[in-house]
């Protein structure tokens, strides 16, 4: 046992020694290459470590490349301009200085390719190191460009390198959400954000066309994770944080203009949303659409096709699409002829049980607040909601009953629904057609809200009390339902437990008085026998 223990210790020590020696070897080669051009060939050994099997060696090599090539870029040791093939270096009549700069430029290009491949490494630490090093290269290349810049037409931002990084982040085979969240700090820089959005548009168009529009769940999820993390500025004065400062004509640079940011932002989202999405992604997009997407678009009305398609899907997706449609209708004068017909069709039993119930009824209340709506339409909504109330949970009913009463308050012509003289005589002969999808043909105005009278005998006392409001003339003042929209069953239960009874609760109908009295009682009969 002792021998085996010593063997394990020695093995562990040898592995630790190997790690230290490999790190020392990499760092020493970096120093040699930086200090003396005679050691230029040692760069091959550093690049070889990028392809090592051990994670520690790879991470150390990534950091070494960061130090080495950033130093060479800053010193101007890399060739600037169109890079000749390496075969041409041997045949061309060039100075030793030129040959060295071209040689190191080729090694730099090789390191970039290897680092891009490492973004797909199995180790997150390696991925992160490679990503940060590549973004460091983007920054240094921006300050010391490797391409001859014509200031009349171009700006010195390494767009191609950043585009290659974005392409690796938008993997078609691997979920990159964790690494994308790490990349988010770079998206806070105006120029990086601008060129990333442009790169995403190109990537989506290329990948989805190759897939012929078929759903690509992993890829599309990576795209959504990236673009949903983009925080757009709201004013041009906020565009101050740049990774690369332009020495001249900075004010004419597209990345420094809010208008151009909005243009590429709009193009990116429209390009992403024009293809079929995974079913669970529609909800994710619609949840953030009205706050994070529409306000930053140059022409928000371009989203109408996506929103109307989502509105026609049904269920929770249709409920969420209401937010975006509300913005377009009220702020951008969108004309949607069948809007209320579709809203009416969304009223079904499941609407009381979905996650977005509060949001739906908040928007429905806004849409039905106009006094210019036809009476038959408001009557149809009031009647349909009353019918659904018969099977709704108590928490929903406490919001729904004031909602219905508010509809009647806004449109006095609908009061006939609660004061129809013949309603009591013909309770079973209801002309209302629940199955009719068109509110214009459901005969709601010919009916009555007998359902509300039925709810006056509901098992929950609060519901019964709320339903009794119709027994008296409705006040002009509308009920505030904002606090009731998110009322849950748990809160309703807690409210019942906190209710204090002011009066004593009777335990029996008649209080016993003769039990212990001598005359005529049980004890009195017992004594008389003795």
Say which range, 14-18, 340-344, 487-491, has the weakest mean pLDDT. 14-18
Work out the pLDDT band at 475, boundaries 50, 70, 90: confident
18 or 438, which is more confident: 438
pLDDT > 70 fraction of the chain, expressed in percent and rounded: 82
Tens of pLDDT, residue by residue over 284-334, are 999 899 888 988 988 888 888 888 888 887 777 888 888 888 888 888 887
The model's pTM? 0.76
CB atoms under 10 Å from CB of 203, counted, come to 22
- Helices then strands, each counted (H, E), the chain: 22, 0
Say which range, 18-27, 256-265, 449-458, has the weakest mean pLDDT. 18-27
What integer best gives the mean pLDDT of the chain? 83
Give the contacts of 120 (CB within 8 A, at least 6 positions apart). Answer: 127, 168, 171, 174
Helices (H), 184-232: 190-210, 217-227
| 395 within 8 A of 489, measured Cβ to Cβ | yes
pLDDT at 153: 44
Tens of pLDDT, residue by residue over 94-140, are 888 888 999 999 999 999 999 999 999 999 999 999 999 999 999 99
Sign of CA dihedral 187, 193, 199, 203: positive
Burial 20-38 (b: 16+ CB within 10 A, else e): eebbebbeebbeebeeeee
Tens of pLDDT, residue by residue over 500-511, are 556 665 666 666
Tens of pLDDT, residue by residue over 476-501, are 788 777 776 666 666 666 666 666 55
Give 279-314 as a 3 state SS string: HHHHHHHHHHHHHHHHHHCCCHHHHHHHHHHHHCCC
19 or 22, which is more confident: 22
Q: Which range scores top for mean pLDDT: 87-96, 239-248, 361-370, 385-394? A: 385-394
| 155 within 8 A of 251, measured Cβ to Cβ | no
pLDDT at 427: 53
| 433 within 8 A of 501, measured Cβ to Cβ | no
The pLDDT of 204-218, averaged and rounded, is: 92
Q: How far apart are CA 521 and CA 515, in angstroms?
A: 6
């Amino acid at each position: 046992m002792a021998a085996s223990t010593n063997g394990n210790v020695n093995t562990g020590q040898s592995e630790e020694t190997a790690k230290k020696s490999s790190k020392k070897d990499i760092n020493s080669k970096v120093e040699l290459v930086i200090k003396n051009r005679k050691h230029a060939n040692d760069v091959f050994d550093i690049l070889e470590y990028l392809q090592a099997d051990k994670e520690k060696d790879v991470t150390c090599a990534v950091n070494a490349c960061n130090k080495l090539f950033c130093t060479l870029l800053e010193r101007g040791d890399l060739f600037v301009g169109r890079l000749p093939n390496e075969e041409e270096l041997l045949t061309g009549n060039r100075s030793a200085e030129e040959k060295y700069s071209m040689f190191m430029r080729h090694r730099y290009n090789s390191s970039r390719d290897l680092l891009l491949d490492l973004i797909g490494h199995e180790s997150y630490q390696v991925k992160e190191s490679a990503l940060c090093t590549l973004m460091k290269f983007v920054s240094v290349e921006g300050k010391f460009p490797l391409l001859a810049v014509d200031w009349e037409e171009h700006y010195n931002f390494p767009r191609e390198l950043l585009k290659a990084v974005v392409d690796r982040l938008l993997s078609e085979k691997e979920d990159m959400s964790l690494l994308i969240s790490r990349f988010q700090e770079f998206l806070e820089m105006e120029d990086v954000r601008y060129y990333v959005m442009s790169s995403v548009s190109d990537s989506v168009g290329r990948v989805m066309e190759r897939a012929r529009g078929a759903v690509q769940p992993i890829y599309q999820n990576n795209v959504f994770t990236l673009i949903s993390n983009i925080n757009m500025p709201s004013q041009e004065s906020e565009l101050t944080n740049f990774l690369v400062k332009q020495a001249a004509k900075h004010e004419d640079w597209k990345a420094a203009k809010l208008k151009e940011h909005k243009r590429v932002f709009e193009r990116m989202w429209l390009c992403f949303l024009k293809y079929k999405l995974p079913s669970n992604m529609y909800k994710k997009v619609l949840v953030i659409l009205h706050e994070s997407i529409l306000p930053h678009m140059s022409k928000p009305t371009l989203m109408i096709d996506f929103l109307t398609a989502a509105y026609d899907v049904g269920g929770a997706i249709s409920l969420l699409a209401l937010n975006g449609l509300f913005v377009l209708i009220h702020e951008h004068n969108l004309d949607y002829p069948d809007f209320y017909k579709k809203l009416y069709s969304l009223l079904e039993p499941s609407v009381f049980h979905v996650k977005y119930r509060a949001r739906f009824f908040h928007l429905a209340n806004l849409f039905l607040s106009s006094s210019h709506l036809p009476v038959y339409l408001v009557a149809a909504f009031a009647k349909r909601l009353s019918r659904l109330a018969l099977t709704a949970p108590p928490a929903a009913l406490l919001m729904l009953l004031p909602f219905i009463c508010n509809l009647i308050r806004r449109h006095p012509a609908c009061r006939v629904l609660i004061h129809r003289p013949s309603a009591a005589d013909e309770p079973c002969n209801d002309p209302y057609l629940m199955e009719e999808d068109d509110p214009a043909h459901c005969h709601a105005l010919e009916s009555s809200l007998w359902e509300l009278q039925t709810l006056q005998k509901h098992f929950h006392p609060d519901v019964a009390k709320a339903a009794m409001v119709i027994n008296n003339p409705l006040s002009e003042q509308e009920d505030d339902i904002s606090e009731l929209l998110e009322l849950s069953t748990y809160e309703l239960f807690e409210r019942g437990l906190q209710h204090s009874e002011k009066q004593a609760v009777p335990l029996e109908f008649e209080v016993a008085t003769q039990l212990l009295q001598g005359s005529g009682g049980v004890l009195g009969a017992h004594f008389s026998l003795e």
